[in-house]
Structures are given as structure tokens and as C-alpha cells.
């Protein structure tokens, strides 16, 4: 589930097929266990296969309606699949069910993205800022915070966040900004780039 966190974005193509294979293998071992479907939903989302990702997440919820990871999978798949408004409630449900979950950094990041995609930049800043403070080693949330600050015209703060991110992650942070990751629909990538440009962190 953390295939995108601990490797450079430039190397994702090496690891996502391997993660997908392991997710499928998990489901073959026990198709009634929700975790395998959650993992498969996530890697399908990362591959840009959003409809399939949403279907797998829905299966996970149906198998275990009290499982935080299943709701997080639903929310994430919908957020990146073009349905961010429908992604907010399941992400909040996951956070409520497991408030100290080891996946909390990712859930908060995806919740911030859902608000960003809805152009609710103020809410996105609040959530992303909290996530960066609580989980400073989680790289993706810095991008959500920078773009949201840029959209709000808070350029000095956005550039301070960028400086911090570059100090931590060097050019990995910039690579993931200017290169569209497969999970981002083209329209969402353009929207993110608009925020980065307003923040003055990319040309």
C-alpha cells in the first residue's frame, strides 16, 4: 500500500506491477478478506484504472463494513476517479473508525486532494497543513498544500513549504509536480499545475 511513499516517483513503474501481482495473489488466497481488495483498489487507482479501483473498494466495504481501510479505499478511488465529493464521506469514515491508523497520512492527503479538486482550497489547506505537521515525512501532502496555498494567493507560505519539501526530497518533489502520475486524470493534473504556477514554484 506504500509503494509510492518509499521510492522515487521516477521508479514507480518498476514497483506498481509487482504490487498489483501481490494484491491479486492475496485475493486468490482468500477472496473474502477485504484487505486484498483494498490493496488491489489502491494499485489499480495508481495505474489510472479508476472504475476498477472503485469496484474493488466497494467489494471491500461489502465484505467488511466496519473496516477503516475499506472506506479509505472507497474514498481514495472516488477522489482520484473524478468523484471527489463522493470521496469525502468514506475518507472521513475511515478516519473516524481508526484515528491512529498507520495509513492516516495517506488518508489525510487524499482528503485534502478531494477538497482541492472541489476547489474548496481553504479546507484543503487546513487538512494538508495538519497532515504535513503530523506526518512531515509523507511527501505527497506537500504538493497538495503548495497547490492549495497557490490557489489562495498565499505565495510566500507556499514557497516556504516548497523550500522545506525540496530540502527533504530534493528533485523528487518537483518531478511529481510536473510529470502527470497515472492516478491523476488529465483535468486534475492541469488543475494541480495551475496551483503550482500560482504559487510560483514551477514555470
Q: Where does the chain show beta strands of DSSP type E?
A: none
Domain with CATH 1.25.40.10 in the chain: 1-101, 104-203
CA-CA distance, 198 to 201, in Å (whole number)?
Answer: 8
Flag whether pLDDT at 164 surpasses 80: yes
Q: Is the pTM of this model over 0.85?
A: yes
Give yes or no for a contact between 110 and 128, defined as CB atoms under 8 angstroms apart.
no
**Burial per residue of 141-163, b for 16 or more beta-carbon CB atoms within 10 angstroms, e otherwise:** bbbbbbbbbbbbebeebbbebbe
Q: Which ranges in 81-154 belong to alpha helices (H)? A: 84-97, 104-117, 121-134, 140-151
Flag whether pLDDT at 67 surpasses 90: yes
Long-range (24+ apart) CB contacts under 8 A made by 53-56 are: 53/77, 53/80, 53/81, 54/78, 54/81, 54/83
Q: 108 is written with which cell numbers?
A: 489525510
Class of CATH domain 1-101: mainly alpha
Query: pLDDT tens digit string along 52-64?
Result: 999 999 999 999 9
Cβ neighbourhood burial of 25 (10 Å; 0-12, 13-18, 19+): exposed
Q: Please state the CATH superfamily assignment of the domain spanning residues 104-203 in this structure.
A: Tetratricopeptide repeat domain (1.25.40.10)
Flag whether pLDDT at 4 surpasses 70: no
Q: How many CA atoms lie within 13 A of 61 on its CB side?
A: 17
Flag whether pLDDT at 9 surpasses 90: no
Q: Which residue has the cell 473516524?
A: 96
Find, among 25, 4, 33, 23, the residue nearest to 183 by Cα.
4
Question: Mean pLDDT in the chain?
Answer: 93
Query: pLDDT tens digit string along 99-155?
Result: 999 999 999 999 999 999 999 999 999 999 999 999 999 999 999 999 999 999 999
Amino acid at each position: 500500500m506504500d509503494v509510492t511513499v518509499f521510492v522515487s516517483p521516477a521508479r514507480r513503474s518498476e514497483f506498481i506491477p509487482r504490487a498489483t501481482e501481490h494484491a491479486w495473489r492475496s485475493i486468490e488466497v482468500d477472496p473474502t478478506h477485504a484487505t486484498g481488495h483494498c490493496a488491489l483498489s489502491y494499485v489499480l487507482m495508481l495505474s489510472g484504472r479508476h472504475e476498477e479501483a472503485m469496484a474493488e473498494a466497494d467489494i471491500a466495504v461489502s465484505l467488511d463494513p466496519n473496516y477503516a481501510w475499506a472506506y479509505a479505499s472507497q474514498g481514495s478511488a472516488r477522489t482520484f476517479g473524478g468523484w471527489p465529493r463522493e470521496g469525502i464521506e468514506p475518507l472521513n469514515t475511515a478516519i473516524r473508525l481508526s484515528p491512529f491508523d498507520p495509513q492516516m497520512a495517506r488518508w489525510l492527503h487524499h482528503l485534502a486532494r478531494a477538497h482541492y479538486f472541489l476547489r474548496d482550497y481553504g479546507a484543503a489547506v487546513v487538512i494538508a497543513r495538519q497532515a504535513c505537521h503530523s506526518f512531515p515525512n509523507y511527501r505527497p501532502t506537500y504538493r497538495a498544500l503548495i497547490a492549495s496555498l497557490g490557489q489562495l494567493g498565499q505565495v510566500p507560505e507556499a514557497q516556504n513549504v516548497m523550500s522545506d519539501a525540496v530540502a527533504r526530497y530534493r528533485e523528487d518533489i518537483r518531478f511529481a509536480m510536473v510529470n502527470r502520475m497515472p492516478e491523476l486524470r488529465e483535468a486534475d493534473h492541469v488543475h494541480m499545475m495551475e496551483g503550482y504556477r500560482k504559487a510560483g514554484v514551477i514555470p
